[in-house]
Structure 1
């Protein structure tokens, strides 16, 4: 039996996907409101007043909204009584776990069948469970493990001297040893010694691995002098 009258908000920055999903939901009998995204959106919470005015039963939410992270909407919408279903192109299970921790009822991949989204909304409308406790705990565990790993990476990065941090920052920008030496007016041998120290402190064996570690930790280098 088809559930009628469920108020659904849809936030997604992929027009074709959003339009297709809206059509499918309306054919199911749901009342759908797509929230327009400003071109200069940098904080997803700017959309919150519009979402709350609509008072949706379900918010279908993408995570990557241009320069904004949609996960910032999960907690406030949940507190207001809405059920949040994340539909995302991200395959990062730790990120999915963070969404569940914030209160999302379900996380679905955009690569999955359309019917999975429709069935999830139908089950929520009927007051039924859409994610088991085991599934939620597993995803949250991914997030906790990722957070622990990132904390450990930041501890390693914290061992660097200011100068070593500057050098790592320049490596992250794609500079070679000779470029860094020329920029800093020091010898290439000096920079190589600094790079060797960076690798030792970060417990990696290559410049590429050091740069990858810094990116994974979302680390910001100090401005080079």
Structure 2
């Protein structure tokens, strides 16, 4: 097998882990190329082009790349370019694992995995073997699709809020208490409590914390006051 065929790229903003992976994979005969994460974030297309120019067979990809942000956007274009993506992440959210698999990643490994497990996975992927069973892959992708369905339902609930209720929810998301909101809105605490009760009813949740969690989960933002 040629050097190019055995080339592995690493894109991870954790220097110690990236260096450990580079050393371990080099010992096992791989031509390893570490790719720096752009300090200023950068455009996904630019980073994809840089990775494709290296012509790696396998890419070890961290999902959270510091200033660049969520690396999920890289998976589909890299897969289309023929790069076999192995996601190595500290993320434990199975729905998020399912998302990158749906985008075309070969598999997902926890950063808690032993180095020998990572090396074994790279070898299997490089040799064209499946790492996940069809059942495991389908289960994780189903978790992502369920998350999407939940977000859709959340958006419907959030759309029920009146403009005033939406502004109150926005203030709750900022960590404000009912008394502070009453002062900010120049209304009585009783009025704010009534609005909070209406918010909980419309969102079908039982606490302010649950309402805030639902809003964050949907990446919802309150309307800008006119």
Q: TM-score range by the shorter chain?
A: over 0.9
CA contact (8 A) 1:44 1:69 kept: no
Shift of 1:181: 1.3
Shift of 1:189: 1.6
Cα deviation digits, residues 52-97 of structure 1 (max 9, x gap): 1111111110000114111111111110111000000000100110
Structure 1 unaligned blocks of 5 or more: none
Cα deviation digits, residues 88-141 of structure 1 (max 9, x gap): 000010011011111100100001111111111111222222222111111101
What secondary structure does 1:69 align onto? coil
Q: Distance in 1 between matches of 2:152 and 2:192?
A: 27
Question: 2:145 is matched with which residue?
Answer: 144
What secondary structure does 1:56 align onto? coil
Question: 1:19 is matched with which residue?
Answer: 19
Shift of 1:179: 1.1
Question: 1:126 is matched with which residue?
Answer: 127
CA contact (8 A) 1:4 1:30 kept: no
> Is the alpha carbon distance of 1:14 and 1:140 closer, same or farther for their aligned partners in structure 2, counting shifts above 3 Å?
same
Over the aligned positions, Cα root-mean-square deviation in angstroms equals 1.5
Q: Distance in 2 between matches of 1:157 and 1:148?
A: 14
What secondary structure does 1:21 align onto? helix
Question: 1:10 is matched with which residue?
Answer: 10
Question: 2:136 is matched with which residue?
Answer: 135
Cα deviation digits, residues 143-184 of structure 1 (max 9, x gap): 011111111111111110111111000001011111111111
Question: 1:171 is matched with which residue?
Answer: 172
> Is the alpha carbon distance of 1:11 and 1:128 closer, same or farther for their aligned partners in structure 2, counting shifts above 3 Å?
same
Q: How many residues align?
A: 223
Structure 2 unaligned blocks of 5 or more: none
* Farther-moved stretch of structure 1 (79-88 vs 176-185): 176-185
CA contact (8 A) 1:45 1:72 kept: no
Question: 2:199 is matched with which residue?
Answer: 198
